[in-house]
């Protein structure tokens, strides 16, 4: 999983333009984010056709506001530039809940 800070373009359209992308909004101070973060490498490995991008909500507040992300951890899925689903709330999320969300996304490919 790449961090948004490691990607040359921080523009939402260029990040999500091609393929399947999952934005994972998090913050260093967020206890629920720290709870799920150890599971993220396994989730990333389980879905090799999905490009996971970790977004520090505090560092990229403009993007979080653009997408209406208030609670974290949150996930927003895109396919070829179009949003196809979101798992957005301030609630703690388990690995099973995240995998269920991914498995029920309306990807066309």
Q: Which of 4, 22, 23, 33 is catalytic?
A: 33
Query: What are the φ/ψ torsions at residue 40 (nearest 5 degrees)?
Result: -65, -40
Q: Which of 4, 12, 22, 30 is catalytic?
A: 30
Q: Catalytic: 88?
A: no
- Count of CB atoms situated within 10 Å of the CB of 39: 15
Give the angle 108-3-106 at the CA atoms, nearest 5°: 15
Q: Catalytic: 30?
A: yes
Which residues are the active-site residues? 30, 33
């Amino acid at each position: 999983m790449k961090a948004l800070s490691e990607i040359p373009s921080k523009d939402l359209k260029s990040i999500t333009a091609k393929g399947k992308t999952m934005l994972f909004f998090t913050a260093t101070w967020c206890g629920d984010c720290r709870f799920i973060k150890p599971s993220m490498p396994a989730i990333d490995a389980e879905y090799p056709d999905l490009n996971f991008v970790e977004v520090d909500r505090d560092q990229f507040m403009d993007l979080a506001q653009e997408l209406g992300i208030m609670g974290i951890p949150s996930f927003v899925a895109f396919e070829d530039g179009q949003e196809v689903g979101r798992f957005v709330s301030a609630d703690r999320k388990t690995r099973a809940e995240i995998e269920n969300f991914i498995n029920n996304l309306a990807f066309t490919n």
